[in-house]
Chain A
């Protein structure tokens, strides 16, 4: 029951099928990595789980601790405990980071209850310190004018503030230099807990040096074609995705 379970998931966009019966189970307390070549459906999987309306689910289900996510609205999925760290986070002009996160926290409170503003700021500042983010980012508009690395740190900050049961990180390493990558990975590692599962989507093995996964899956053409331990990532790094082609796992 305590898992994020993707069952035989198929999804399409504009009539093109991208996910073709994908199955995967991330139990709480584990970190799973999905690797795959460009166009294999990695980002589609993340967006479908979060509920992006451009994608149509044609078959299968996604269960969060046994409850179907696909039945829920986008915001409900988040409140239920799912978090997606975006590959390309949106910019929201005029909405400060602090107000944005306050609204997200407020949405989790019962009606009539208000956020304790002092405690909130104390918390956000300590988490920003941990991520090496300047405190002035609380007053800046969400992601507007942020560098690639600042955006990714901001994603991790949101994850730390919202404390999801399951976090999906979509190419969180892209756009990060090695120092930023280490800081972001530290943030993620600090969140690892028996009560939380992670699905780390990445093209490169590099991130997995810092966020060491329990399991690695290879996604190709909308399906998981191979699963293994963390060593699978190293093997992929060494041999490239072509190696799987030679194995006959990827259609040439």
Chain B
């Protein structure tokens, strides 16, 4: 039997909280009611709406050809003792044993399906409370309606977890769709770093329609890194919501390499005195890849800061769209908000669209936004070549430096190394141009 995303979602195992099942049901009818995106909508300017046709796409099933042992051994980038969780096609595969002392302190790291049963009340107060503000309402609801798995992390007050948690999502099989959900909460004065890796295990077409909610309570620090290395044919629609409360520090880093087409929406809400949020993204599209990214830095409270840096190195006929908005709400005085999008054009056929935006409704605000699109600077090239470095090697050095400059912002040597390795492989594959 061939399913389609337009068929009603299959029912889930019993034991899940009633509120969750109810929300899921409502989300499905909302999904059906919300009209498909239209290019006339400001949020879909420059977007390739044609890519949004998902006939024949199914909820991902378990795949015979998926080599579990191989992927388990590949699903570790940092120390294998770190907290780690692995999924294939929205099915939980493995979790490294959590240390008892962390669990005793109230630390929770569980697959969503299990967490909903064990911690339903806690999850309910945070679960998908955000409005989808940047255009993908329909897909936000689709995620909610077809959600099957994901993970939940809760770091209790005062607990600092030094070693990053790693989560792996593998997508496999032709026309498979997954709807992962990530909910991460750092309670007061806690500290956490999470690295989530989304990748294909084959070269097939598939869809990832994901949502992540990151909530940093007062005085907490949360760093979230997401790398996407899906197949060249895959599509990805991702919504990421950051809630930054009083004196919290959030860093949201995103690396995009794979996908034929992707749409990513990222929102940071600055909600308390001293809240700060950094949004960093690196993309290296080639061939006919299209990356469409929309962001919102929403300052709702005085004395908050946000800093966005999106860097794209575009090869071949690839295309990127960046639409960023800084919104300073009434009363959110003493806001510091910065937004920069830089495009490095590695071919004369690529296309980088940038639409930076600013809306300020408060006083004593420091805001700046800007975007640039340039080929490799002649002066930099001349300098490198004057040291004997061949032109294509010089170009690659500059390009690698261009993206590394953004990766450096993570200030986490181990994670930077993981990301730079992925980028190195990418540039080696692209080769010298």
Bound CA span A89–B385, Å: 13
Q: List 11 A-B contacts (CB under 8 A).
A: A50-B382, A50-B386, A74-B391, A78-B387, A86-B383, A91-B380, A93-B401, A94-B403, A94-B404, A95-B401, A107-B389
Q: A75-B388, A90-B380, A108-B388 are in contact. List 5 more A-B contacts (CB 8 A).
A: A90-B383, A92-B383, A94-B400, A107-B390, A107-B393
Instruction: Tell me if A79 counts as interface (CB < 8 A to partner B).
Output: yes
B402 CB–A CB distance under 8 Å: yes
The answer to the question of A103 belonging to the interface, with a C-beta cut-off of 8 Å to chain B, is: yes
B interface list, Cβ under 8 A from A: 377-380, 382-391, 393-394, 397-398, 400-405, 408
Q: How distant is B387 from chain A, measured CB to nearest CB, in Å?
A: 4
> In the assembly, what is the distance between CA of A30 and CA of B393, in Å?
34
The one of B380, B385, B400, B408 in contact with A75, judged by C-beta atoms closer than 8 angstroms, is B385
With A94-B408, A107-B393 known as contacts, the answer to whether A158 contacts B387 (CB < 8 A) is yes
Q: How many residues of A contact B (CB 8 A)?
A: 30
Nearest Cβ distance between residue B80 and chain A, in whole angstroms?
A: 27
Tell yes or no: A116 within 8 A of B by CB.
no
- Please, how many angstroms separate the alpha-carbon atoms of A107 and B388 in the complex? 6
**Contact pick for B397, options A51, A74, A99, A162, CB 8 Å:** A99
Known interface pairs A90-B379, A92-B397, A107-B390; A74-B402 also in contact (CB < 8 Å): no
Name the distance in Å between A162's Cβ and chain B's nearest Cβ: 7
> A162 near B401 (CB under 8 angstroms)?
no
A134 interfacial contact with B, CB 8 Å:
no
List the A side residues contacting B390 at CB < 8 Å: 75, 107
Give every chain A residue within 8 A of B387 (Cβ-Cβ): 75, 78, 100-101, 103-104, 107, 158, 162
The listed residue (A52, A79, A141) touching B388 by CB distance below 8 A is A79
Cross-chain contact A78 with B386 (CB below 8 angstroms): yes
Asked if A73 CB lies within 8 Å of chain B CBs, one says yes
Given the interface pairs A74-B385, A74-B386, the reply to whether A95 lies near B397 with Cβ below 8 Å is yes
Q: A78-B385, A92-B380, A99-B397 are known contacts. Are A73 and B402 too (CB-CB below 8 A)?
A: no
Please state if A93 and B402 are interface contacts (CB–CB under 8 Å): yes
Contact call B405/A141, Cβ cutoff below 8 A: yes
In whole angstroms, what is the CA distance A192 to B401 when docked? 34
Q: Is the CB of A141 within 8 A of B401?
A: yes
By a CB distance below 8 angstroms, the chain A residues around B403 are 94
Contact B405 A100 (CB under 8 A): no
A179 at the interface (CB under 8 A from B): no
Q: Are A78 and B382 in contact (CB under 8 A)?
A: no
A75 → chain B, closest Cβ, in Å? 4
Are B388 and A92 within 8 A (Cβ)? no
- A residues 193-211 near B (Cβ < 8 Å) are none
Assess the B404–A73 pair: CB atoms within 8 A. no
Chain B residues with Cβ below 8 Å from A52 are 382
Q: Point out the residues of chain A lying under 8 angstroms from B388, CB to CB.
A: 75, 78-79, 104, 107-108, 162
Residue of A nearest to B406 (CB): A94
List of A residues within 8 angstroms of B377 by Cβ: 90
B397 contacts across to A, CB distance below 8 A: 92, 95, 99-100, 103
A-B CB proximity, top 7 nearest = A94-B401, A78-B388, A94-B405, A95-B401, A90-B383, A94-B404, A74-B385
Once bound together, how far apart are the Cα atoms of A50 and B389, in whole Å? 13
CB distance from B392 to the nearest CB of A (A): 10
Distance in angstroms between the alpha carbons of A158 and B383 in the assembled complex: 12
Indicate which residue in B379, B382, B386, B398 contacts A95 across the interface (CB closer than 8 Å).
B398
The closest CB in chain B to the CB of A95 belongs to B401
Residues of B contacting A107 in the complex (Cβ-Cβ under 8 angstroms): 387-390, 393
CB-CB under 8 A from A91, the residues of chain B are 380
